Structure 1
Amino acid sequence: MYSSTTGGQGRLKLVNFETLENHISHETQGLSNKYLVVRRGKPFKVTLVFYGQMWNPKTEYLALQVLLGEMSARMLVRFSDKRSDPRSWSARIYPGDIGHRVVTIRVCAPALSSVAQYQLMVHIVGSHERSSYTAGPFVLLCNPWLKEDPVYMPLDAQRQEYVKSDYGVIYMGTDLNFSQQPWSFGQYEPGILEACLQLLQVSPQHLSNSHKDYVLRENPAYLSRIVCAMVNSSDDMGLLEGRWKGSYKDGVKPTEWSGSADILHRWMASKGNPVRYGQCWVFASVLCTVMRVLGVPSRVVTVFNAAHDGDGNLITEEFYSSTGERLGLSKDSVWNFHVWVECWMRRPDIGAKYDGWQVVDPTPQERSAGVYRCGPCPVVAIRRRCLNTPYDTAFVYASVDADIVRVIVRSGKVVGRKVDTEWVGRLIFTKSIGSDAPEELTDSYKRKKKDQTYRVGHSGLSDRIVSVSGNGGPVCRASRSFVPGPPEGVCQMSPNVMSGLPNEDGSGSDVTLSIDGEPTLGKGIDLTVTVTNPSNSTRVLREHLNAQLKEFNSSPEKSFWKSHQEVSIQPFQVLTRRHSIAPSEYEAFLAGDDIVTVAVVIKDLKTKERVLATQDFNLSSPKISIEVDGGDSIQVKKEHKAIVSFTNELNKTLSGAVLTVEGYGLLQGKQEARLTILHPNEKIEKKVAITASTSGTKLLTASFSHSGSSGAISRSYHKVSVTTR
């Protein structure tokens, strides 16, 4: 309730924003206990209570005014139950909404109102007197429940998952052995709405021209582009600073975050200094939180084998030594996984055929119009290869569908080359509606290249059709900034050829590399190399195998295991070679969920030709058990017990064992259990008392480390549903 008189003898006693009823009606429960939060295009109730005499409709009129920066909208309060013009503000009194000294007014914002915090004023104007009252602030959000709103989403199950749900799952690892990390979006935690609004207020666009910024905030595409840039701190007072290698001691290691609320609270407390540190899934998850708070349906998406096309030619190069060691010689890279966000909206700026899911990527990789951001880019434009479509479609297209060229180098010379048209974007996942299981989106982004023609152009220009034959063909190469006009040029994609081992009859040899089973920390890593000799002569080959740790964003590390052997293969033989990397050979280098690249180079000793095969995989972590007494649904503000334990299933004794338990919104700080020695099959356990102050989905997180490991060798998460009763 708010009441403030700005002039004259006060006749208005108070203004009741009917917060509880409005929040239920507008699907904004829990977003704020400080402000009224409503959605545009839908009426909300405001009740006026007078001291005595109400206004006299015959001699006076009642008006409401909303203020946003320099903008103002004034509306006469009318007696009517008819629907208002959706393009303008309205204030109406329905039959039965007026009583003794009390009147309820239904206020409705246009369907294309700006997303922001407004001020509401009440004016009573007569022929000889005018009284004005400041009713107080309220927050206006996008409305996915309203057909006239560009973010309208037709199915309630979709709105519940992509707007109201405060829980998600991030898929990580490799396409062969991916893991799931739960994430708490935390939009119902105290202060999160205020942090999201503050993010808009300190954007460069708002600071340089607040009026223009407020006007443009009606457009969800504009909102997503602003928030995308503000989630990273590369150009502004943004939320997160990224770091992909080196020490994290002056911040939080990216793998230790499990929710957005802690990050947003830290940013607010620091008065705009960036929170350290983020990587792609952290940037994307925080962006998803902000967009859901603002009312834009959003989901987190993982692309396995995502290309970073540094030079814009839609081709990604990787370099290997003649013994199979990955070399960091290219500006391009292929990340084992990359995480971005899809936001749902109509795109009247480029045409209805581009409506729907839009890629918005806040990880600072390349600049778009001079700023580290990417999107919104229509998913349908990526699939149709409309590479000039705004924004940044060529860059996103390369992320999911670039060719990858693997080059073998020896003494500065290229001695082998292989083009792979299928590796990039092999699998694309998001969380399923109502389930932790992944929903595959690969077909939404990609079609078979050989079945394709490439469409180039955008709304307002005639599309160009460029024919394609086989697995290659020209495509338009566009800059990341959208500039209307014809394509900048074309680039010829390389044919799908592989430098094999030539035989006397001109035929080549096939080599494949595979990983047997699911590699788990503490157990041997079994490899299988298969070599085919389709010729009628015996071949003498040298086999080079190399294993090296790599960052998920493709940065190669030093090799930790190598094998070099000479083998003979008979005519028309399929030779299977089996290798195993023992735990003792990798434990000093690898931890749980680390990603490993194994490469094999086969050299024909007679012809000196080489052929390469590679495989990436990640080690599964030993499991941590988390059990909540009474089940996984707890009551708010009621203490519950949780038992967290780790059993040493490794075949060795671990010294300096530490089991750490955290839970934002459930626990204060970290709690630890320590053992000097943890023998094989021995258990370390920690009991904690958890209490939730707010409802929603919370996460208990646990990690295990020991003195012989460089970091946590295991990390587990447990979802807890908090209810009000």
Structure 2
Amino acid sequence: MEDLKIQNVNLEESENLERHRTEGFSGSKTLVVRRGAPIRVTMQLQGRAFDPKIDSLRIKVLLGRLYVVMPVTFSKKVSPSLWNAYMDPEDLNLQSPSIFISSPASAAVGCYGFQLHAFTQGVKKTFAFSKFILLCNPWCREDAVYIPFEDQREEYVQNDSGLLFIGTPMNIVARPWSFDQFEPGVLEACLNLLQVSPQHQKDRRVDYLKRNNPVYISRVVSAMINSKDDRGVVTGKWEGDYKGGVNPSLWTGSGDILTQWAESGYKAVKYGQCWVFAAVMCTVMRVLGIPCRVVTNFNSAHDTNANLVIEEYYSETGQKLKHSADSIWNFHVWVECWMNRQDLGSVMDGWQVLDPTPQERSGGVFCCGPAPVKAIKDRRIDLFYDVPFVYAEVNADIHRIVVSEGRVVGHTRDTEKVGSLLCTKAVGLPRHQNITGDYKLIRSPYSTISSRSSTMSEDSTLISRGSSRGMVVVLALDKAPFAGEPVHFTVKVVNKQRVAKKIKVHLNAQAKEYNHNPSDTFWESHGVVELGPMQAKVFHQQILPAEYEDVVGDTVISLAVVLEDLTSHERTLASEEFNIASAQLSIQIADEDSIVPNKEQAAVVTFTNPFSHPVSGVLTVAGAGLIRGKVNFRMLPLRPGSSVSQRITFIPNKVGTKMLQARLTFSDINYTIRGFKMIAVRRA
């Protein structure tokens, strides 16, 4: 009898990519599939056909040194918790039989090899070898990362671009970011991240076994994104210059970072800050099939002594001082990943906080989470992982203390500012979604405030109040500040007592990075006001563009007012921190309805100079699935109020919604202006 010979195995790439919703990875040299769903392969035979009466097949699947061997059956009934292989008895082509390999919904993530062995009358005759990459499957109900809504799966797994939110709650800045999960080299870098992790290097067998659990995977990734403790992806830097690396504010996507890290032999990329760490982690988790979104916590507390109190110190003239190890970041960015928590019970299923920015050690390494969002809201600080730390980030109180010659001369308490707004990109829309209610029982005061806030009223929560036994001071910005316009604000002073008062008023403005104490004062004003018994006075102030232009950029302004009763020397403080929104680059496309793959398109990027002096710089344009790499244009000096336009061309290579983003980096001032355009690429 002629021997059964397997000539090769056809992985049916097109069908399997569509079945597993992995078409984005079509450029990978290895087939990419998702666990819990069947993979169809076709056995190409040489010579005689397959004879079910005398021939049988077995498949050996390998992950490292772990393996499972399964017979190929003729039953389509499979167990969701076991590896299975079968041939469809109703569609049996004996010359080129199709085999379905079904992985359990709890299989480990990784690159698998598989061997197909053919037996005739019990004797092995031939075999073939191939491999595939297995990811988590949020479309599979039995998978721990199953998320039940298709629009959320599209947003949190498939979307390769998005928005990161920075700034302040009253002036939210949307920063475009390209997650790049389908760009060349990114999938391989994400899988290599697991391979070079300390957990894998210490015990590969145990690491492979644990990779079935998204809780375990997410902790490994959280630690590996930062370069503390391991061969992680990004080195953080928060002050000084960025020589030898890239200023964190200049990164526009994860692809450049991940591929640079992998191609350098896993040397950490310089430099990142919180939004870079979070965005890169979001890319890795989406690649691995775990739903992920980037979250911003405005006014985020770093409570070093775990007492849920952050102390802030001010001089008697309103200058903010560095006297405390605790700090408030104007914003802090982390990620949430969607998963079941079998270790905690189903009540804690859903979104989990993971923070790859190195702040505190967890389990001996710099990582954070997964901390269930529900546990943070319910103050379940007894649960894994790092719930107390995240709880403090959104719930600490602020004690503001005025000191003079080493003595405390005034203080106020603020229970509302920390965690005042948490937001993420809305599903399918280029705007932010308020998710504060997921974390806190109270309603965020910023829930109805747009990025260009309207004028504040007396009862607005966007004002700062200070009160002492004899005085009240209220500090309120009249509207959200915008570059090129004066910063208008109002100070209201109230005498609470039935005697006249003479009060010294100190106003002070300092620039600061989002996560630092302010630098020196760049604007101040001092005066004296006289108040009759129980009298209130309101006066208006402004900071002119020429006075703040040297400190504007990706900075925040700390504004404070201190009242001093010249009789009792009692002090009262109110403070507010704000950013100055900049104009965005305008991107226009002539015929948006005719954009199809492989056809050249054109866009026009326009900039208007809002400053009081000429500016020049470099315009950078990028877009995953639209432009390979980046395109740079030099902008000659542009007079104040003048506009300039640049035509660019691009050729889409993928169907779907893509982001074209532009960045103008000025050469003479530390300032960057951005813009983005969502583009729908339709099938031809």
TM-score of the two chains, using structure 1 as the length reference: 0.87
* CA distance in structure 2 between the partners assigned to 1:141 and 1:573 by the alignment: 68
What 5-or-longer segments of structure 2 have no aligned partner?
Answer: 444-464
| Pairing partner for 2:67 from 69, 72, 79 | 72
Counterpart residue number, 1:415: 409
| Residue 62 in structure 1 maps to residue 57 in structure 2 | yes
| Residue 601 in structure 1 maps to residue 562 in structure 2 | yes
Q: Please state whether the residue corresponding to 1:296 is helix, strand or coil.
A: coil
Query: Which digits, 9 at most, give the CA deviation of each residue in 1:666-693, with x for residues without a partner?
Result: 15544223324x2233222322222344
Q: Please state whether the residue corresponding to 1:30 is helix, strand or coil.
A: helix
* CA distance in structure 1 between the partners assigned to 2:125 and 2:508 by the alignment: 82
Query: Which digits, 9 at most, give the CA deviation of each residue in 1:198-254, with x for residues without a partner?
Result: 111110000111100000000000011111111111121111111112212322222
Q: Please state whether the residue corresponding to 1:596 is helix, strand or coil.
A: strand
| Residue 335 in structure 1 maps to residue 329 in structure 2 | yes
Query: Which digits, 9 at most, give the CA deviation of each residue in 1:148-204, with x for residues without a partner?
Result: 111111122221221222222211100111111122212121222111111111100
Counterpart residue number, 1:237: 231
| Residue 620 in structure 1 maps to residue 614 in structure 2 | no
Counterpart residue number, 1:654: 614
* Contact kept in structure 2, 1:49 and 1:101, CA below 8 Å: yes
Query: Which digits, 9 at most, give the CA deviation of each residue in 1:625-675, with x for residues without a partner?
Result: 22234228733332222222212243x3415x1241221441554422332
Q: After the TM superposition, which of the residue ranges 664-673 and 108-117 deviates more from structure 2? A: 664-673
* CA distance in structure 2 between the partners assigned to 1:684 and 1:316 by the alignment: 46
Counterpart residue number, 1:719: 678
Alignment identity in percent? 44
| Pairing partner for 1:530 from 484, 488, 492 | 492
Q: What letter matches 1:604 in structure 2?
A: D
Query: Which digits, 9 at most, give the CA deviation of each residue in 1:50-88, with x for residues without a partner?
Result: 01224443334210110011111101001112x212221
Counterpart residue number, 1:377: 371
User: Post-superposition shift, 1:720?
Assistant: 3.2
* Contact kept in structure 2, 1:121 and 1:132, CA below 8 Å: no
Q: 1:270 to 1:694 in 2, by over 3 A?
A: farther
| Residue 702 in structure 1 maps to residue 652 in structure 2 | no
* CA distance in structure 2 between the partners assigned to 1:711 and 1:246 by the alignment: 16
| Residue 320 in structure 1 maps to residue 283 in structure 2 | no
* CA distance in structure 1 between the partners assigned to 2:33 and 2:93 by the alignment: 25
User: Post-superposition shift, 1:435?
Assistant: 1.2
| Pairing partner for 1:672 from 633, 649, 654 | 633
* Contact kept in structure 1, 2:274 and 2:334, CA below 8 Å: yes
* Contact kept in structure 2, 1:636 and 1:695, CA below 8 Å: yes
Alignment of 1:210-249 (within 5 A): 210-249=204-243
| Residue 368 in structure 1 maps to residue 336 in structure 2 | no
Counterpart residue number, 1:153: 147
* CA distance in structure 2 between the partners assigned to 1:568 and 1:287 by the alignment: 56
Q: 1:179 to 1:706 in 2, by over 3 A?
A: closer
Alignment of 1:532-571 (within 5 A): 532-571=494-533
* CA distance in structure 2 between the partners assigned to 1:72 and 1:280 by the alignment: 39
* CA distance in structure 1 between the partners assigned to 2:39 and 2:374 by the alignment: 36
* Contact kept in structure 1, 2:9 and 2:128, CA below 8 Å: no
Q: Please state whether the residue corresponding to 2:595 is helix, strand or coil.
A: strand
* CA distance in structure 1 between the partners assigned to 2:34 and 2:557 by the alignment: 48
User: Post-superposition shift, 1:524?
Assistant: 1.2
Query: Which digits, 9 at most, give the CA deviation of each residue in 1:462-517, with x for residues without a partner?
Result: xxxxxxxxxxxxxxxxxxxxxxxxxxxxxxxxxxxx98443xxxxx4221111112
Q: 1:357 to 1:394 in 2, by over 3 A?
A: same
Q: 1:671 to 1:707 in 2, by over 3 A?
A: closer
* CA distance in structure 2 between the partners assigned to 1:20 and 1:410 by the alignment: 73
* CA distance in structure 1 between the partners assigned to 2:241 and 2:660 by the alignment: 25
* Contact kept in structure 2, 1:416 and 1:499, CA below 8 Å: no
Counterpart residue number, 1:44: 39
* CA distance in structure 2 between the partners assigned to 1:632 and 1:594 by the alignment: 38
Q: Please state whether the residue corresponding to 2:515 is helix, strand or coil.
A: coil
Alignment of 1:457-472 (within 5 A): none
Counterpart residue number, 2:177: 183
Q: After the TM superposition, which of the residue ranges 226-235 and 158-167 deviates more from structure 2? A: 158-167
Q: After the TM superposition, which of the residue ranges 438-447 and 202-211 deviates more from structure 2? A: 438-447
Alignment of 1:94-109 (within 5 A): 94-109=88-103
* Contact kept in structure 2, 1:659 and 1:684, CA below 8 Å: no
Counterpart residue number, 2:450: none
* Contact kept in structure 1, 2:466 and 2:472, CA below 8 Å: no
| Residue 514 in structure 1 maps to residue 476 in structure 2 | yes
* CA distance in structure 2 between the partners assigned to 1:226 and 1:87 by the alignment: 24
User: Post-superposition shift, 1:694?
Assistant: 4.2
| Residue 447 in structure 1 maps to residue 441 in structure 2 | yes
* CA distance in structure 1 between the partners assigned to 2:386 and 2:94 by the alignment: 59
Counterpart residue number, 1:472: none
Q: What letter matches 1:39 in structure 2?
A: R
Q: Please state whether the residue corresponding to 2:276 is helix, strand or coil.
A: helix
* CA distance in structure 1 between the partners assigned to 2:83 and 2:22 by the alignment: 20
Q: 1:695 to 1:231 in 2, by over 3 A?
A: farther
Q: What letter matches 2:179 in structure 1?
A: F
Q: Please state whether the residue corresponding to 2:284 is helix, strand or coil.
A: helix
* CA distance in structure 2 between the partners assigned to 1:318 and 1:636 by the alignment: 55
Q: Please state whether the residue corresponding to 2:323 is helix, strand or coil.
A: coil
Number of aligned residues: 659
* Contact kept in structure 1, 2:602 and 2:648, CA below 8 Å: yes
| Residue 585 in structure 1 maps to residue 559 in structure 2 | no
* CA distance in structure 1 between the partners assigned to 2:149 and 2:665 by the alignment: 45
* Contact kept in structure 2, 1:40 and 1:109, CA below 8 Å: yes
User: Post-superposition shift, 1:708?
Assistant: 4.3
* CA distance in structure 1 between the partners assigned to 2:126 and 2:409 by the alignment: 82
Q: 1:12 to 1:696 in 2, by over 3 A?
A: same
User: Post-superposition shift, 1:723?
Assistant: 4.4
Query: Which digits, 9 at most, give the CA deviation of each residue in 1:358-410, with x for residues without a partner?
Result: 00111111111111110000001101111121000000000001111111122
CA root-mean-square deviation: 2.1
| Residue 631 in structure 1 maps to residue 601 in structure 2 | no
* Contact kept in structure 1, 2:294 and 2:336, CA below 8 Å: yes
* Contact kept in structure 2, 1:75 and 1:90, CA below 8 Å: yes
User: Post-superposition shift, 1:588?
Assistant: 2.1
| Residue 301 in structure 1 maps to residue 260 in structure 2 | no
User: Post-superposition shift, 1:426?
Assistant: 0.4
What 5-or-longer segments of structure 1 have no aligned partner?
Answer: 1-7, 450-497, 503-507
Q: What letter matches 1:568 in structure 2?
A: E
Q: What letter matches 1:658 in structure 2?
A: G
* CA distance in structure 2 between the partners assigned to 1:584 and 1:301 by the alignment: 34
Q: Please state whether the residue corresponding to 1:234 is helix, strand or coil.
A: coil
Q: Please state whether the residue corresponding to 1:121 is helix, strand or coil.
A: strand
| Pairing partner for 1:273 from 267, 270, 275 | 267
* Contact kept in structure 2, 1:177 and 1:617, CA below 8 Å: yes
Q: What letter matches 1:406 in structure 2?
A: R
Q: After the TM superposition, which of the residue ranges 52-61 and 430-439 deviates more from structure 2? A: 52-61
Counterpart residue number, 1:686: 646
* Contact kept in structure 1, 2:34 and 2:134, CA below 8 Å: yes
Counterpart residue number, 1:572: 534
| Residue 18 in structure 1 maps to residue 4 in structure 2 | no
* Contact kept in structure 2, 1:28 and 1:37, CA below 8 Å: yes
Q: What letter matches 2:660 in structure 1?
A: L
* CA distance in structure 2 between the partners assigned to 1:623 and 1:632 by the alignment: 24
User: Post-superposition shift, 1:437?
Assistant: 2.5
User: Post-superposition shift, 1:600?
Assistant: 0.8
